[in-house]
Amino acid sequence: MSDNTAKAREIAKRLLQEGTVAMVLGWEKGDEPYVSAPTVIRDAADAERLVVDEYCIHDLAALLPDYRDRSEKIAIFAKGCDSRGIVRLIQDRVMPRERLYIIGINCPGMKDPNEFFRAASGLSKAKPAEKAAKCLSCQYPNPVVYDEIIGEPQQPQEDKRFAEVDKIESMSADERYDFFIKEFSRCIRCYACRNACVACNCRTCIFDETKPQWVRRSTDPVNNMLYQIVRSMHVAGRCVECGECERACPVGIPLMLFNRKLIKDVDQLFGPYQAGLSLEDDAIPPLSRYRVDDPDEFM
């Protein structure tokens, strides 16, 4: 058992025994050695199920909206990216800070179980990488908010996040359109990207509405493009760059290209601003607040 797993179990057990929290959101081993699946622990005896290993890639913060209408206090394990999602949920008033006990994990990077699934099933001949793609450009491996923390502090990766965005920006408008329409034509509208997203936390999602049906469910190029544009704009300035949408996409659409273009634009046009870094009042996303000196050259 790793030190982090032992520490995680000890903390969860203590919090449940002393009644500080009613439940703990963590990870437990799944059917395969490369799966550490999200789990909920309510009994101190079950703390022994918890693990913290190199496969704990799922963002537990994305589960918090399921508990928004309840009152119990929740302990949640949070890597750097997860902690930014928690900040966003608090700012979006989905979950009050007082209802959370955040157990931070200084994160050395995770492996992507999906790559192991594909290799094991023969769907891919590629050897799974030592680190998930999203972790190769991680700027905040250490939690930005926590009540207690485990693991050694980690260094951020070299910031190459916008290299692919720069390439897209150098294309002509027609080339860009062709590029994205080709990528989005592969979308099967499974909504895995939306479901994995901590910024997609509306009670009723526009894509589920049928009266009126704003975006048709057919997977034709126009409706697929509409889906992607609307979702990207909805998370503009709120995306915490956790990379879970792209990782969840079963057909490998490079969703982070779209997200990072908007992260770059929001940062340059309305910032400097990166989502989910602080709970201070002035850290509310620029597109979620009004100021009399907001830029208005476009009007």
Residue 239 interacts with ligand SF4 (CB under 6 A)?
yes
Query: Considering only 43-51, 102-110, 111-119, 264-272, which stretch makes contact with ligand SF4 by CB under 6 A?
Result: 102-110
Q: Tell me which of 196, 215, 257, 266 binds ligand SF4, using CB under 6 A.
A: 196
**Which tokens is 282 given?**
């002035």
Residue 107 interacts with ligand SF4 (CB under 6 A)?
yes
Q: Tell me which of 24, 25, 74, 240 binds ligand SF4, using CB under 6 A.
A: 240
Query: Considering only 15-23, 94-102, 187-195, 201-209, which stretch makes contact with ligand SF4 by CB under 6 A?
Result: 187-195
Q: How far is the CB of 292 from ligand SF4 (least distance, A)?
A: 29
Q: Which of 52, 74 has the CB closer to ligand SF4?
A: 52
CB atoms within 10 A of CB 154: 17
> What CA–CA distance (Å, rounded) separates 207 from 232?
13
> What CA–CA distance (Å, rounded) separates 257 from 264?
10
Query: Considering only 45-53, 114-122, 208-216, 245-253, which stretch makes contact with ligand SF4 by CB under 6 A?
Result: 245-253
Beta bridge partners of 77: 103
> What CA–CA distance (Å, rounded) separates 274 from 264?
9
Eight-state DSSP code of residue 203? S
> What CA–CA distance (Å, rounded) separates 80 from 68?
22
**Which tokens is 125 given?**
């001949």
Dihedral angle over CA of 62, 84, 15, 64, nearest 10: -20
Residue 243 interacts with ligand SF4 (CB under 6 A)?
yes
Dihedral angle over CA of 128, 129, 133, 138, nearest 10: 140
| Contact mark string toward ligand SF4, 42..81, x via CB under 6 A | ---------------x---------------------xxx
> What CA–CA distance (Å, rounded) separates 145 from 175?
41
Residue 89 interacts with ligand SF4 (CB under 6 A)?
no
Q: Tell me which of 25, 135, 144, 236 binds ligand SF4, using CB under 6 A.
A: 135
- Which residues would be at the binding site for ligand SF4 (CB under 6 A)? 57, 79-81, 107, 109-110, 134-135, 138, 141, 187-193, 196-199, 235, 239-245, 248-251, 253, 255, 259
